[in-house]
């Protein structure tokens, strides 16, 4: 009897053990989901003291800041209440295996007026400071932008002490003219006007951030402007740079830092001064006149207003800016989104399989202003490139429109430029700027190593100047006037990816192209299928 009971108990325990194992095995462990519903409307804003038409997200200008954690799934439903089609792109978010969610006209059909569409994205293996903004027409000039901050998972240590609080600062150039008037200016072939002001979080002055004396605070600063590099500084305080566009850098200390169009950085600021108010300053770089916006860093309990003079900034000083850019270096021992050190990827030892030299230019076609890359001024087809590629729709684009090096002679032509590369290629891209104005370039779907900056014409001997040990990874790189910038990128994210001027009027008038990262394998391990809720347009049909 006893042995029978023992056998029965053992069998019962074994049964429940197997049942528990099967139950756990059948549970699909997923990363957290965060849901947002954003209504895009026109509304009255008055950052310069006059009423203007702005583009609001849930009634806000700028839009709400998204806070999330590495690997979170972000579900954003956009309800378009504008009178024009609309899209949002997620600047610096890699959209792993899913260029379907990128939110640009080469990958998505725009959301028609009085309709909605839902983005489904994962912050896969990313940390850091990012932004989102309207990618259609000139909507971004009126608003439709905001911050997107991705925190590290709690088990992944960061290389600095936890700040008491984080502040998101969005700096942009701003115009009194309506966004449709600005668009008509470009459509008619006229140059884009000089901005009327600089704003910090939608205000030319008085954006206020309060902290306790003796504490350290993180300032996440992004240049969400259309045309203008800025210099950022805080009166009486030093800026310890801790993160650049999604990776940790060596913690250099700056009195001020240049932040170019489309770029984002994060500083730690110690509140170790007298308990009063201090000016936060953003001013334009390489412009005449210089425009300035001010905010306030307030010590809790302060009754003393900030006082002049404002902290001094560089004026034109191109060489100063380039030298400063070279001081930003990768932290090789810090973890990022994963526990392995950033420096475990020895990018400087990888063989380059292809070099692409891209030269920007300003020209006229049929008497109207246009911008171009390698003498091709990009035009958007009615059918998104990604749909045409995936559904084998002919006649939308070909891979011979643009060449790997600038042509020696020839006129600028219209074209739908797509560069074809093989998945996992390791590529060198040179941005050659033969103009007198600073440029800024952004690549969707990736970050890349910014290995070199220089003056004049790039040639292969310039590689001796590259930083092949600890160049920072970024998703936007500046190119100085009459100079070049070099990046290295591991093309490991299959899809169709926009490579564009971050200076929006130049992008709008043709200074962009797409990079098709491809292999012949059709597998969910390398790329997701068309989303079930995809919007179709042009020649693409469900």
At 234-247, the pLDDT tens digits run: 999 999 999 999 99
> Please, which residues have CB within 8 angstroms of residue 411's CB and are 6 or more apart in sequence?
375
pLDDT higher than threshold 50 for residue 6: no
What per-residue confidence (pLDDT) applies to 29? 61
Q: Give me the phi and psi of 411, to 5 degrees please.
A: -80, 160
Taking residues 353-379, report their average pLDDT.
Answer: 97
Q: State the burial class of residue 148 (Cβ atoms within 10 Å of its Cβ: 0-12, 13-18, 19+).
A: buried
- A 10 A CB-CB count for 226 gives 25
Share of the chain above pLDDT 70, in %: 95
Mean pLDDT of the chain: 94
What per-residue confidence (pLDDT) applies to 519? 95
> Please, which residues have CB within 8 angstroms of residue 421's CB and are 6 or more apart in sequence?
354, 427, 491, 515, 516, 517, 518
At 193-250, the pLDDT tens digits run: 999 999 999 999 999 999 999 999 999 999 999 999 999 999 999 999 999 999 999 9
What per-residue confidence (pLDDT) applies to 317? 87
Distance CA 250, CA 252 (A): 6
What per-residue confidence (pLDDT) applies to 30? 85
CA separation, residue 466 to residues 19, 164, 333, 348, 451 (Å):
59, 38, 21, 9, 5
At 421-443, the pLDDT tens digits run: 999 999 999 999 999 999 999 99
| Secondary structure of residue 180 in the 3-state scheme | helix
Taking residues 372-400, report their average pLDDT.
Answer: 97
Taking residues 250-260, report their average pLDDT.
Answer: 98
> Where does the pLDDT of residue 13 fall: very low under 50, low under 70, confident under 90, or very high at 90 and above?
very low
pLDDT higher than threshold 70 for residue 19: no
What per-residue confidence (pLDDT) applies to 403? 96
- A 10 A CB-CB count for 60 gives 16
> In angstroms, how far apart are the furthest CA atoms of the chain?
102
Judged by average pLDDT, the poorest of 18-27, 162-171, 383-392 is 18-27
| Secondary structure of residue 393 in the 3-state scheme | coil
At 22-74, the pLDDT tens digits run: 333 333 468 999 999 999 999 999 999 999 999 999 999 999 999 999 999 99
pLDDT higher than threshold 50 for residue 7: no
Closest to 487 (Cα-Cα) out of 453, 517, 461 = 453
CA separation, residue 526 to residues 310, 423, 493, 495, 498 (Å):
52, 9, 8, 9, 19
* Residue with the larger pLDDT of the pair 352 and 25: 352
At 442-493, the pLDDT tens digits run: 999 999 999 999 999 999 999 999 999 999 999 999 999 999 999 999 999 9
End-to-end Cα distance, the chain? 69
Judged by average pLDDT, the poorest of 15-29, 86-100, 191-205 is 15-29
Domains by residue range for the chain, with CATH = 27-157 (2.60.40.420), 159-320 (2.60.40.420), 347-518 (2.60.40.420)
């Amino acid at each position: 009897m006893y042995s029978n009971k023992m056998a029965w108990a053992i069998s019962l325990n074994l049964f429940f053990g197997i049942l528990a194992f099967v139950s756990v095995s059948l549970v699909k462990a997923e990363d957290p989901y965060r849901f947002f519903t954003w209504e895009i409307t026109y509304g009255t804003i008055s950052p310069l003291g006059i009423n203007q038409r702005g583009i609001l997200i849930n009634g806000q200008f700028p839009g709400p800041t998204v806070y999330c954690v590495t690997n979170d799934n972000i579900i954003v439903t956009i309800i378009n209440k504008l009178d024009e089609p609309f899209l949002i792109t997620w600047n610096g978010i890699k959209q792993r295996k899913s260029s379907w969610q990128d939110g640009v006209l080469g990958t998505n059909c725009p959301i028609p007026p009085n309709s909605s569409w839902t983005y489904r994205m994962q912050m896969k293996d990313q940390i850091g400071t990012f932004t989102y903004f309207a990618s259609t027409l000139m909507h971004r000039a009126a608003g439709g932008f905001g911050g997107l901050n991705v925190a590290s998972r709690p088990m992944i240590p960061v290389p600095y002490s936890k700040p008491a609080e984080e502040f998101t600062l969005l700096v942009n150039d701003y115009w009194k003219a309506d966004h449709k008037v600005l668009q008509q200016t470009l459509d008619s072939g006229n140059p884009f006007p000089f901005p009327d002001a600089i704003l910090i979080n939608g205000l030319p002055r008085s954006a206020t951030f309060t902290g306790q004396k003796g504490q350290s605070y993180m300032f996440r600063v992004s240049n969400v402007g259309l045309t203008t590099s800025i210099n950022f500084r805080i009166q009486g305080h030093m800026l310890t740079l801790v993160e650049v566009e999604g990776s940790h850098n060596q913690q250099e200390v700056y009195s001020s830092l240049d932040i170019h169009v489309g770029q984002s950085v994060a500083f730690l600021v110690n509140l170790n001064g007298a308990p009063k108010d201090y000016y936060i300053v953003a001013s334009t770089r390489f412009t005449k006149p210089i425009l300035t916006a001010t905010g306030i860093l307030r010590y809790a309990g302060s009754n003393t207003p900030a006082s002049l003079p404002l902290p001094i900034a560089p004026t034109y000083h191109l060489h100063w800016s380039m030298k400063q850019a070279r001081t930003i270096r990768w932290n090789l021992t810090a973890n990022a989104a994963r526990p392995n050190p950033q420096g475990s990827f020895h990018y400087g030892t990888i063989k380059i399989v292809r070099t692409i030299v891209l030269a920007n230019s300003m020209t006229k076609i049929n008497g109207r202003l246009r911008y171009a890359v390698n003498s091709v001024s990009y035009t958007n087809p009615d059918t998104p490139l990604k749909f045409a590629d995936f559904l084998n729709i002919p006649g939308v684009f070909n891979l011979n429109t643009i060449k790997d090096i600038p042509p020696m002679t020839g006129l600028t032509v219209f074209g739908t430029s797509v560069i074809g590369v093989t998945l996992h290629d390791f590529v060198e891209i040179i941005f050659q700027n033969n103009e007198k104005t600073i440029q800024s370039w952004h690549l969707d779907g990736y970050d890349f190593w910014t290995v070199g900056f220089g003056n004049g014409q790039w040639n292969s001997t310039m590689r001796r100047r590259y930083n092949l040990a600890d160049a920072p990874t970024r998703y936007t790189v500046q190119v100085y006037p009459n100079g070049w910038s070099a990046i290295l990128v591991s093309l490991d994210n299959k899809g169709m990816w926009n490579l564009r001027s971050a200076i929006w009027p130049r992008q709008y008038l043709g200074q962009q192209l797409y990079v098709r990262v491809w292999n012949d394998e059709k597998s969910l391990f390398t790329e997701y299928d068309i989303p079930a809720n995809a919007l179709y347009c042009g020649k693409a049909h469900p």
